[in-house]
Amino acid sequence: MSPWLTVVGIGEDGYKGLGRNARHALLQARQVFGGARQLALLPPCIQAEQRQWPSPFSLSPVLEQRGDPICVLASGDPMLFGVGASLSKHVPFAEIRVIPAPSSYSLAAARLGWALQDVVTLSVVARPVAALNAHLQHGLRLLVLSNDGSSPAAIAAQLRERGFGPSRMIVLEHLGGSAERQIEGTAGEWNATDIAALNLVAIECRAQPDALRLSPLGGLPDEAFRHDGQLTKRDVRAITLARLAPVPGELLWDVGAGCGSIGIEWMRAHPTCRAIAVEADEGRQQLIEFNRDALGVPGLQLIRGRAPDALERLEQPDAIFIGGGVTREGVLPACWQSLRSGGRLVANAVTLQSEAMLVNW
């Protein structure tokens, strides 16, 4: 099937900023989907039916029109944290045509004179601000796409909490439009409140002298975690992670997760690494929830239960760490049988009983 779905990137300069191909697609479309702000940028010459995204957001209205000439409006580059990337997971890409506009990141880098290849690009659109914690390193530059006008204040608070109060923040509003504006300050003294919903935050990370140093490599300091004593200590944790060998896109089961340290560091290894923490103790479940946010991996999935029963119907893992319960009946066989072919299983023995079980296994 030839492309029936055209995803058009549109900037703050609206229809006049579109090229010939994008304009032609809009003129030929039977329906145009987009947010209220994007649809408002279209001139009267666009005769297609205009449809706002439903709330809660769903791609179903577009997918139901398969075969008809449809346009979807997206902000900037549709394939960069955009609806184009989402649509490509549901529609064969041979049926999609993408016409990008400059992204907010490109425009921000141009305004600030930052080399885009040296900048970390992030988004907190419909995502927890806590995810930024995985990227806070002294001297690093971040470009963060905001969810709304309250995002800069939330980001500043997050920076202060992590000891990055001296960080320089520049909010760039309405990039590429007539209302474009910059607001500058430090995270420690941030007090701007009247900020447009459409904004991006540029951050030059500057740590306070007493800020806890959190390397992106495995083996974070023990004090980086809130725990009740059930913590795989730093050096052992570094060796454990080396043996687990996280690879982008892979899934880890952290069985008997304690405070969640192994699963958290696994996810910090790469943005696409995923982990499921299995923990039966209610107090430790709360520690996992705190630590995953504090260390920038709010996507860590928590299963409240005890292995092996809690392992049923979980997605097949690429690697498994058994931090607690290795001597419990059925745990080791269940983990071994669940492991994907070519996967890794690592267990740390802290008692003679667990050591003997692993040696005999």
Q: Which two tokens stand for residue 303?
A: 């299963």
Q: What is the pLDDT of residues 112-152, one digit of tens each?
A: 999 999 999 999 998 999 999 999 999 999 999 999 999 99
Q: What is the pLDDT of residues 12-65, one digit of tens each?
A: 999 999 999 999 999 999 999 999 999 999 999 999 999 999 988 999 999 999
Backbone angles phi, psi at 354, to 5 degrees: -70, -35
Task: Give buried/exposed letters for 209-242 (b at 16+ CB in 10 A, else e).
Answer: eebeebeeebbbeeebbebeebbbebeebeebbe
* 56 prior amide bond cis, ω within 30: yes
The beta strand positions in 110-167, using DSSP E, are 120-123, 141-145
- 344: Cα within 13 Å, side-chain hemisphere: 16
Element (H, E) at 153: helix 151-161
What pLDDT sits at residue 54?
Answer: 94
What pLDDT sits at residue 162?
Answer: 95
- Residue 1: pLDDT over 80: no
Q: What percent of the chain has pLDDT over 70?
A: 100
Q: Which two tokens stand for residue 230?
A: 């059930």
What pLDDT sits at residue 326?
Answer: 83
Query: Closest Cα to residue 315, out of 303, 328, 331?
Result: 303
- Residue 213: pLDDT over 90: no
- Residue 203: pLDDT over 80: yes
Which contacts qualify for 216-220: CB closer than 8 Å, 24 or more apart?
A: 216/134, 216/137, 216/268, 216/269, 218/242, 218/265, 218/269, 219/265, 220/261, 220/265, 220/295
- Residue position matching structure tokens 């140093």: 213
C-alpha distance from residue 181 to each of 16, 98, 101, 175, 214 (Å): 21, 29, 20, 8, 34
In DSSP terms, which residues pair with 120 in a beta bridge?
A: 142
- Residue 105: pLDDT over 80: yes
8 Å CB contact between 111 and 103? no
Q: How many Cβ atoms from other residues are within 10 Å of residue 74's Cβ?
A: 27
- Give helix 282-294 / helix 261-268 axis angle, nearest 10°: 20
- Residue 181: pLDDT over 90: yes
**What confidence category does residue 295 fall into, taking pLDDT thresholds of 50, 70 and 90?**
very high
Q: What percent of the chain has pLDDT over 90?
A: 89
**What confidence category does residue 358 fall into, taking pLDDT thresholds of 50, 70 and 90?**
confident
pTM over the 0.85 mark: yes
What pLDDT sits at residue 12?
Answer: 93
**What confidence category does residue 108 fall into, taking pLDDT thresholds of 50, 70 and 90?**
very high
Q: Which two tokens stand for residue 204?
A: 């030059």
- Residue 361: pLDDT over 90: no
Q: What is the pLDDT of residues 249-268, one digit of tens each?
A: 999 999 999 999 999 999 99
8 Å CB contact between 180 and 173? yes
Can you list the domains of the chain with their CATH numbers? 5-101 (3.40.1010.10), 105-204 (3.30.950.10), 222-360 (3.40.50.150)
Which contacts qualify for 281-286: CB closer than 8 Å, 24 or more apart?
A: 283/228, 284/228, 284/230, 284/257, 284/258, 284/259
Tell the burial category of 32 from Cβ atoms under 10 Å away from its Cβ (0-12, 13-18, 19+).
buried
Query: Closest Cα to residue 121, out of 138, 104, 139, 99?
Result: 104
Q: What is the pLDDT of residues 296-355, one digit of tens each?
A: 999 999 999 999 999 999 999 999 999 878 888 999 999 999 999 999 999 998 887 877
Query: How far apart are alpha carbons 180 and 194 in whole angstroms?
Result: 14
Query: How far apart are alpha carbons 273 and 252 in whole angstroms?
Result: 8
202-218: average pLDDT? 93
What pLDDT sits at residue 230?
Answer: 83
8 Å CB contact between 247 and 276? no
8 Å CB contact between 170 and 202? yes
Query: How far apart are alpha carbons 33 and 26 in whole angstroms?
Result: 10
